[in-house]
């Protein structure tokens, strides 16, 4: 059991410290037990919150993360705290979704990853941001 928890500092703690920005949050990982198989892991955060960088008003939405792990998998409690850290972070929706994708790719180097942000309407318009890695738009036929 100890070997499976190696490197995990947030899971199993009796107290939880909530980071107040993504820069202070830590994405943790564990070894993929099935590295020879392609399978998709999906996380859904239906209560994602960030703040508008112009008005400082809260923005609400849903973040869906799909990834195919290589040698590492994301630990869900660390991911929850990371996503929670956006609560008081001022960012545009486009920046938030792409930052989440970049941070996940940096943390676990998946085979593929996708982050979909579906944000609630503000001012009568909703925004959906869909970012993938590797970026298929950069691939040439």
Q: What pLDDT band is residue 1 in, cutting at 50, 70 and 90?
A: very low
Q: What is the pLDDT of residue 17?
A: 80
Compute φ and ψ for 133, nearest 5 degrees: -140, 135
Catalytic residues: 52, 59
Q: What is the pLDDT of residue 14?
A: 62
Q: What are the tens digits of pLDDT across the range 86-123? A: 999 999 999 999 999 999 999 999 999 999 999 999 88
Burial of 108 (0-12, 13-18, 19+ CB in 10 A): buried
Q: What is the pLDDT of residue 140?
A: 46
pTM value?
0.87
Does residue 55 sit in helix, strand or coil? coil
Domains of the chain (ranges plus CATH)?
Answer: 33-138 (3.30.1130.10)
DSSP conformation letters of 85-107 = GGGG-B--HHHHHHHHHHHHHHH
Q: What are the tens digits of pLDDT across the range 11-51? A: 555 667 888 899 999 999 999 999 999 999 999 999 999 99
Q: What pLDDT band is residue 53 in, cutting at 50, 70 and 90?
A: very high
For β-strands 72-74 and 29-31, DSSP reports them as antiparallel
């Amino acid at each position: 059991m100890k070997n499976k928890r190696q490197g995990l500092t947030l899971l199993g703690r009796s107290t939880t410290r909530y980071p107040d920005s993504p820069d202070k949050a830590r994405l943790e990982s564990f070894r993929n037990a099935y590295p020879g198989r392609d399978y998709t892991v999906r996380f859904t955060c239906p209560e994602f919150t960030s703040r508008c960088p112009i008005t400082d008003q809260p923005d609400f939405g849903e973040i869906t993360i799909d990834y195919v792990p290589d040698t590492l998998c994301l630990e869900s409690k660390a991911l929850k705290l990371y996503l929670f850290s956006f609560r008081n972070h001022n960012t545009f929706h486009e920046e938030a979704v792409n930052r989440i994708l970049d941070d996940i790719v940096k943390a676990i180097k998946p085979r593929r990853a996708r982050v979909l942000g579906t944000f609630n309407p503000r001012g009568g318009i909703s925004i959906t941001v869909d970012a993938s890695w590797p970026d298929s738009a950069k691939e040439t036929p």
